[in-house]
Amino acid sequence: MADFFNEWGDTIWEGFIQTMQMTGISLLFSIIIGIPLGVLLVLTRKNGQAENLAFYTVLNTVINVIRSIPFIILLFFILPFTKLIAGTTIGVKGVIVPLVVSCAPYIARLMESAMLEVNRGVIEAYQSMGISTPKIIWHVVIREARSPMILGLTIATIGLIGETAMAGLVGAGGLGDLAYQFGHVRFQPDVMYAVIIILIIIVQIIQSVGNAFARKLKKD
Amino acid sequence: MIQLQHVSKTFKVGKNKIEALKDVSLEIKKGEIFGVIGYSGAGKSTLIRCVNLLERPTGGRVFVDGVDILSLNKKNLQKLRRKIGMIFQGYNLLATATVYDNVAIPLMLEGVPKHEIKARTEKYLEIVGLKERSGAYPSQLSGGQKQRVAIARALAHEPEVLLSDEATSALDPNTTDSILELLLKVNRELGITIFLITHELDVIQRICDRVAVMEKGRIIESGTVVDIFTRPKEAMTKQFVRNESRFRIPSHVYRDLLATGRLVNLTFLGESAKDPALATLAKRYDVLPSIIAGGIDQLKDQSIGNLLVHLKGEADQVSEAVRYLRSGHIVVEEVSG
């Protein structure tokens, strides 16, 4: 055990940090892009507060198209775009763009379905009190949907961790890459097992924290 | 206060057009409680929602306080809506906010100064009798308590009109009573005009001054509650009034009674309640009146007595007796089975 840690401790730690960086940074950008997109989906759909079917159809289709492409293909498919945005296509920096492109539409969908669950009557009650739509979105829709939104973000985060494993293909490192390079290619199963255990622990922690947080916000 | 002029509303569902409102005109006066009654699907809900434009009429005009609200821009409509409170069958409270916050948040969003939010929230929670439950969440309250919070929320904007969209329809009879009491208090003590819709005659009977009966998107009859109760004209109105206030008597009993005389339903109101009508009848004419059933309906400001009376005797004497009854203030209706 001690020998294993001496030999692999630093490498695994480095992989852990890379995974956390990739997940954290992409999650942040995905939330910044995904939540407003989710709000737009809710607003512009049929019978939404700012119904605009043309806009909704375009946005809806784009999201579906992106969500149809498996991440590993998306990674290569959008290389020119990645280069344009990030200036590089390799390393942690090079993988953030495809991760966000993949995750933001997913978050938009999850947020949309969470917000659609909000009782329309409550929104109507606030409209009837002469309160503007932006205020209703923030103080009613997002407030009432916050618990399922947190659960959605938890799901998205865990999905993101899975995708970072493929980031190794563009040299971004991370735990998934470590398990693949050493555990599979060089046939050192103990490294793979260690990585799997760490990933399980991370996912468990994220899910539990997400659940606890959602429960606390639910209030009923 | 509120005037609807030739209001119509057509919904398009796929290729079909549904006319929810057909040329509806009515006027609600300041300070009164006006009710619209009808079965579900009659268009009541659409009608009340046209008053604050949650639903935009496809024809006609709507005036609130003399202002043609269909001509208002978004901002002015929002301002106007603050003068019109609304409560709903489903309460429509924020599940994630406490009782206090449910009242305070809309005030905050409206830009009411902080100290005033606190004062108003406390004042109106006190009025609806829920000050002690300020910290509770809606899920911890009963239906009646939730409706009280919704009423406090509506009142906190200090509106001139309160719209009530089936506010008691999901509540049990006792709770309905207490909410109706509260609405009466709001009307009397705060001087707020109330426009309500309901399918329960009880609601109309207990608190309304005037009523309109709605069927298939039209108003088929309207008047004071007393008139509608004592002299319903349309078939559906009669059906509403009968179902609630007349007596359920088995048909074979009717047959037996009709075989031996005539049956009249007498409605007493105000002054007429003091006339010793039946005693006079027995003295003046050669008839034997006997009371089959009776009851009293309590309206907002007065009571209505109903008697089902069997008149036995020679045909001409009975006819004379009925004519005598009709000559007074009593509303007489012959029952034919």
Half-sphere exposure of B68 (CA within 13 A, CB side): 6
By CB atoms closer than 10 A (0-12, 13-18, 19+), residue B316 is exposed
Question: Has residue B244 got a pLDDT over 60?
Answer: no
Q: pTM score, two decimals?
A: 0.83
Low-confidence residues of chain A: pLDDT under 50: none
DSSP, res A141: I
The confidence band for B248, taking pLDDT boundaries of 50, 70 and 90, is: confident
- Banded pLDDT at B331 (limits 50, 70, 90): confident
Angle, alpha carbons B75-B80-B81 (nearest 5°) = 95
The rounded mean pLDDT for chain B is 88
Chain centroid offset of residue A80 CA: 22
SS3 B211: strand
Length of chain B: 337
Instruction: Compute the distance between CA of residue B141 and CA of residue A46 in angstroms, rounded to an integer.
Output: 34
Q: Distance, in angstroms, between B47 CA and closest chain A CA?
A: 14
B255 vs B219, residue with greater confidence: B219
A51 touches chain B (CB under 8 A): no
Q: What is the pLDDT of residues A44-55, one digit of tens each?
A: 998 888 889 999
Q: Which residue out of B78, B88, B96, B149 would a mutagenesis test of the A interface target, given it has the greatest number of A Cβ atoms within 10 Å?
A: B96
Are B70 and A96 within 8 A, CB to CB? Answer: no
Kindly list the residues of chain B whose beta carbon comes within 8 Å of any beta carbon in chain A: 52, 54, 77-82, 84-86, 88, 90, 92-97, 105-106, 109-110, 137-139, 150, 153-154, 157, 163
Q: Where are the domains of chain A?
A: 10-219
Could B92 and A129 be called an inter-chain contact, meaning their C-beta atoms sit closer than 8 Å?
no
**What distances in angstroms separate CA B22 from CA B71, B176, B196, one per listed residue?**
21, 31, 19
Using CA atoms, how far apart are residues B176 and B206, in angstroms rounded to an integer? 11
Residues 80..139 of A with a Cβ closer than 8 Å to B: which? 119, 121-122, 124-132, 135, 139
pLDDT level of residue B243 (50, 70, 90 thresholds)? low
Rounded Cα distance, A193 and A206, in Å: 20
| Distance between CA atoms of residues B257 and A214, nearest Å | 69
Q: Is the pLDDT of residue B194 over 60?
A: yes
Q: What is the pLDDT of residue B184?
A: 92
Shortest distance, CA A130 to any CA of chain B (angstroms) = 4
Which of B231, B127, B133 lies closest to B183, judged by CA? B127
Q: What is the mean pLDDT of residues B155-166?
A: 93
Please name the member of B86, B139, B157 whose beta carbon is closest to the beta carbon of A220: B139
Q: Please list the helix, strand and coil fractions of chain A in percent, rounded to the nearest 5, in that order.
A: 85, 0, 15
Mean pLDDT over B308-314 rounds to 87
Comparing A100 with B278, which gets the higher pLDDT?
A100
Q: Homologous superfamily of A10-219 in CATH?
A: MetI-like (1.10.3720.10)
Q: Chain B partners of A119 at a C-beta cutoff of 8 Å?
A: 90, 92, 95
Terminal alpha carbon distance of chain A:
47
Please give the pLDDT value at position A220.
Answer: 62
CA distance A211 to A218: 11
Nearest-by-CA chain A residue for B96? A219
Minimal Cα distance from A120: which residue of B?
B92
Segment (H or E) for B37: strand B33-37
* Minimal CA separation from B94 to chain A, in Å: 7
Report the complex ipTM: 0.83
Determine what percent of chain B is predicted with pLDDT higher than 90: 42
- Bridge partners of B13, per DSSP, are B16
B287-297 confidence digits (pLDDT tens): 888 888 888 87
Looking at the complex, report in whole angstroms how far the Cα of residue A110 sits from the nearest Cα belonging to chain B.
20
State which residue of chain A sits closest to B98, comparing Cα positions: A219
Q: What is the mean pLDDT of residues B168-196?
A: 91
Say whether pLDDT at B337 is over 70. no
Q: Work out the number of other CB atoms within 10 angstroms of the CB of residue A205.
A: 10
Chain A: closest CA distance from residue B117 (Å):
15
Higher pLDDT, residue B100 or A189:
B100
DSSP state of B276: -
- The pLDDT-based confidence of B273 (bands split at 50, 70, 90) is low
- Rounded to an integer, the average pLDDT of B97-121 is 94
Q: What Rg, from alpha-carbon coordinates, does chain B have?
A: 24
